[in-house]
């Protein structure tokens, strides 16, 4: 049985076969991550915790949530690992950007009663075919049941680029998650796919017909066949190369390296594949992240903003307790 595929694995091949080879064939462990991916992870973590507490009836105030974001930042930040690519941008810029994402999301969605949260950072694993030859996996930021009964698949995006509605209506990632979830929850359930562009305070929603899902299933299988039969992995240079963790060993940039440096001489890591940051901040977004305008939304009542439960009433989520089941 072949490897399990994911949207990010397939996207890596589509964007640059050489990057796909480094990451998934040679399994070269990344020794750094872009600051955009780092910010995206912290925003995801704090929103996950926010919904954890909200689900227990312990909704923290906005300032506590922002404080938590900064604490997560300080705990995770490693100057040796996190790199800033964009010229002239500072670490403070990105830290503020994440804070604005968190604050804006909170103020927009307070008091978080638009549906019942069914899962947070939920891993889905499902076959695209009856024989199980084409297996897919993914991690869904949040799954909820809306008041009208529809199952909503939520995805947070921290990049500045907001795709058109048409592009999202043809987007692969969340529609694949719908295929996986429908196997668990029932094919006749209504679904909504919801993207939160938190840096821009924009929400986009899309739905899929059964015919569209079937077409997606077939085209995804065809793409997996293409990847499996690839005989070579040529580099494909683009604006995203600046954010590629393999640029230092990429043959497409050999001319830029000092004499004597050998492409492919970077240290090899373990056989463990790197974390698929596309689940957190997709690669295309990294080229367009920008300081957002603060959303013009009304603040919640001050009493609620400060109504953070006492530490005793706010138990921290246990490690490994992130994959809440439906």
CB closer to ligand SF4, 85 vs 252: 252
How far is 36 from 158, CA to CA, in rounded Å? Answer: 8
Compute the distance between CA of residue 246 and CA of residue 29 in angstroms, rounded to an integer.
Answer: 10
Question: What string of DSSP letters covers 139-194?
Answer: EEEEEEEETTS-EEEEEEE-SS----HHHHHT-SHHHHHHHHHHHHH-TTS-EEEE
Q: To the nearest whole angstrom, how small is the minimum distance from the Cβ of residue 281 to ligand SF4?
A: 16
Report in angstroms how near the CB of residue 243 gets to ligand SF4 at its nearest: 8
Residue where the block lists tokens 């987007």: 171
- Comparing CB distances to ligand SF4, the nearer of 120 and 241 is 241
> Other CB atoms closer than 10 Å to residue 293's CB: what's the count?
11
CA distance 222 to 63: 48
Nearer to ligand SF4, 86 or 236 (CB): 236
CB of residue 252 vs ligand SF4: minimum separation in angstroms? 4
Under rule CB under 6 A, which residues in 178-237 are in contact with ligand SF4? 235-237
Tell me: does residue 89 bind ligand SF4 (CB under 6 A): no
CB of 251 to ligand SF4, least distance (A): 7
**Is position 23 an interface residue for ligand SF4 (rule: CB under 6 A)?**
no
Q: What letters, b where the CB count within 10 A reaches 16 and e where it falls short, cover 185-218? A: beeeeebbbbbbbbbbbeebebebeeeebeebbe
- How many residues touch ligand SF4 under the rule CB under 6 A: the total is 13
Question: Does 62 interact with ligand SF4 (rule: CB under 6 A)?
Answer: no
**Residue numbers 246-275 binding ligand SF4 by CB under 6 A:** 246-247, 250, 252
Least distance in angstroms from the C-beta of 222 to ligand SF4: 23
């Amino acid at each position: 049985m072949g490897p399990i595929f994911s949207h990010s694995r397939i996207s890596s091949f589509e964007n640059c076969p050489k990057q796909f080879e480094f990451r998934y064939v040679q399994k070269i462990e990344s020794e750094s991550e872009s600051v955009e991916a780092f910010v995206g992870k912290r925003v995801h973590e704090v929103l996950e915790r926010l919904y954890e507490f909200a689900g227990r009836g312990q909704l923290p105030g906005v300032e506590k949530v922002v404080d938590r974001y900064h604490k997560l930042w300080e705990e995770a930040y490693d100057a040796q690992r996190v790199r800033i690519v964009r010229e002239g941008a500072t670490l403070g810029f990105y830290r503020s950007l994440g804070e604005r994402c968190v604050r804006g999301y909170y103020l927009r969605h307070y008091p978080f009663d638009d549906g019942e949260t069914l899962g947070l950072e939920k891993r889905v694993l499902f076959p695209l075919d009856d024989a199980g030859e084409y297996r897919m996996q993914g991690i869904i930021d949040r799954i909820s049941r809306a008041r009208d009964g529809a199952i909503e698949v939520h995805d947070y995006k921290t990049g500045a680029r907001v795709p058109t509605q048409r592009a999202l209506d043809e987007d692969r990632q969340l529609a694949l998650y719908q295929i996986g979830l429908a196997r668990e929850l029932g094919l006749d359930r209504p679904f909504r796919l919801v993207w939160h562009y938190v840096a821009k305070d924009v929400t986009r929603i899309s739905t899929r017909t059964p015919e569209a899902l079937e077409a997606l299933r077939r085209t995804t299988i065809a793409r997996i066949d293409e990847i499996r039969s690839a005989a070579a992995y040529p580099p494909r240079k683009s604006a995203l190369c600046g954010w590629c963790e393999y640029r230092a060993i990429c043959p497409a940039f050999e001319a830029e390296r000092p004499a004597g440096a050998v492409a492919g001489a970077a240290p090899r890591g373990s056989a463990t594949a790197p974390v698929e940051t596309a689940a957190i901040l997709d690669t295309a977004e990294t080229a367009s992240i920008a300081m957002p305008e603060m959303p013009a939304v009304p603040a919640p009542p001050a009493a609620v903003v400060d109504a953070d439960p006492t530490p005793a009433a706010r138990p921290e989520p246990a490690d490994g307790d992130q994959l809440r089941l439906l």
